[in-house]
Structure 1
Amino acid sequence: MTTPGRDVLRDADHPIEAARALLGATLTVGAVRARIVEVEAYGGDLQGPWPDPASHSFRGRTPRNAVMFGDAGHLYVYRSYGMHYCANVSYGPDGVAGGVLLRAAEIIDGHELVASRRPGISRHSDAARGPGNLGSALGLTLDDNGVDLFGTHPDTRLGLGEPTPYRSGPRVGIAVAADRPWRLWIPGSAAVSAYRRSPRAPAVTERWDDRVRD
């Protein structure tokens, strides 16, 4: 199915372009609506245009990562550390692997439902701060893996917004390709998560420029 939002993600000529398109997007899952304020881009396998050893798709297509190799605009949901569900959005043409991890969001609607899913949270900005917390706030499970965000699914929809100023820096918690500045966030949002470098990653060899960009 062709839609303007899907076309933007399908035609992205670099992972950063796909990540930028998703910053400020609105994701609705059931009664919860959230604005995406932090994302992390991931490439694909060695045969694709964006080889990325940190990506789930780097070693090739499997039943688990098949959504990343499919058409743009689908949810790739996986379980992290056996307890959290993390959500990605596929991008690029069908057959080329790529995914953008949704790292943090601001809850717009459904605050009471989110509070029931995230008990003990005292600040609204913490409800979907971090990819596992975002998945919990939205109520995502593996049943949502493969959902078409621009299709006819009655409960799950994605709306891309206007381009927004952003900052970029290294990705969080990965041991390989750790210094690629493929993490993007909206400056000033309290929902953006803190940067934590993996202890298994090599020492930092250069200083990243994280000035605000349009």
Structure 2
Amino acid sequence: MQPVDPSFFRQTTLDLAKSLLGMLLVKETEAGTASGWIVETEAYVGPGDRAAHSYGNRRTKRTEVMFGPPGFAYTYRMHTHCLLNVVSGPIGHPEVVLIRSVEPYTGIELMRERRGFDRKLQELANGPGKLTKCLGISIEDYGRPLFESPLFIAEGRKVSAISVGPRIGIENSGEAKHYEWRFWEKDSPFVPKKGFGYK
């Protein structure tokens, strides 16, 4: 599992959101390495996107990494859960892609330890809060380059078909809630049928 070249991330945000499908998300920890195929993403396209943290060019300590080069991790807390985003867009254009769901690949027993041995395989990482817990991704990963260890994107597998629809959980974002900027691997059982997928 070798990290992708940094040039992989130099795509438009919408293109990157689709290109990430099928790629392998890997996290190395002292407890071991776990990874999963990315099967669901959401794009947040910067200052003009009312659902984005950087709407209106809002620049805070939390969003600072979004204003830098693409290919770095933007982690933040949603309730008690950590969410992972891939910084996209050129420097000064704060855009990201949220990783929403992955299909477990390696380190599945480690994932079960972190999430519970009673969980079905399809439900281990089918949500943005679930996958970070499974893989051992935390707020401390904020700002890490996603093209080198210990947290990185690796070459993946071909995705035969991509489904498109509106993003989830952004009801208070005006017209932005209707933008069809969520992408997922069609017919994947590892994409949640409904709901946020945090628990």
User: TM range, normalised to the smaller chain?
Assistant: 0.7 to 0.9
Query: For 1:78 and 1:18, how far apart are their aligned partners in 2?
Result: 20
- Contact residue 42 and residue 181 of structure 2 kept, 8 A: yes
Residue identity opposite 1:36 in structure 2: I
Query: For 2:8 and 2:152, how far apart are their aligned partners in 1?
Result: 15
Ranges in structure 1 where 5+ consecutive residues have no aligned partner: 46-50, 198-214
Query: For 1:101 and 1:150, how far apart are their aligned partners in 2?
Result: 17
Q: Which residue of 2 aligns with 1:194?
A: 193
Aligned CA RMSD, in angstroms, stands at 1.8
The 5-angstrom pairing of residues 71-110 of structure 1 reads 71-81=69-79, 83-110=80-107
Q: How far off is 1:122 after superposition?
A: 2.8
- Contact residue 9 and residue 73 of structure 1 kept, 8 A: yes
1:64 paired residue among 56, 62, 65:
62
Query: For 1:160 and 1:182, how far apart are their aligned partners in 2?
Result: 23
SS at match of 2:152: strand
1:41 paired residue among 40, 43, 50:
43
Q: Which residue of 1 aligns with 2:18?
A: 20
1:145 paired residue among 139, 142, 146:
142
- Contact residue 103 and residue 193 of structure 1 kept, 8 A: no
Residue identity opposite 1:179 in structure 2: H
Query: For 2:157 and 2:98, how far apart are their aligned partners in 1?
Result: 19
Q: Say which structure is richer in helix.
A: 2
SS at match of 2:9: helix
Query: For 2:181 and 2:158, how far apart are their aligned partners in 1?
Result: 17
SS at match of 1:158: strand
Q: Which residue of 2 aligns with 1:210?
A: none
Q: TM-score, normalised by structure 2?
A: 0.86
- Contact residue 167 and residue 177 of structure 2 kept, 8 A: yes
Residue identity opposite 1:119 in structure 2: G
Q: How far off is 1:11 after superposition?
A: 3.3
Ranges in structure 2 where 5+ consecutive residues have no aligned partner: none
* Deviating more after overlay: 103-112 vs 66-75: 66-75
- Contact residue 171 and residue 179 of structure 1 kept, 8 A: yes
Query: For 1:157 and 1:8, how far apart are their aligned partners in 2?
Result: 12
The answer to which structure, 1 or 2, has the higher relative contact order (CA under 8 A, 6+ apart) is 2
Of structures 1 and 2, the larger Rg is shown by 1
Relative to structure 1, is the Cα distance of residues 119 and 163 closer, same or farther in structure 2, using a 3 angstrom cutoff? closer
Query: For 1:146 and 1:101, how far apart are their aligned partners in 2?
Result: 14
SS at match of 1:86: strand
Q: TM-score, normalised by structure 1?
A: 0.81
Q: Which residue of 2 aligns with 1:172?
A: 168
Query: For 1:33 and 1:24, how far apart are their aligned partners in 2?
Result: 12
Residue identity opposite 1:182 in structure 2: W
Q: How far off is 1:120 after superposition?
A: 5.0
SS at match of 2:46: coil
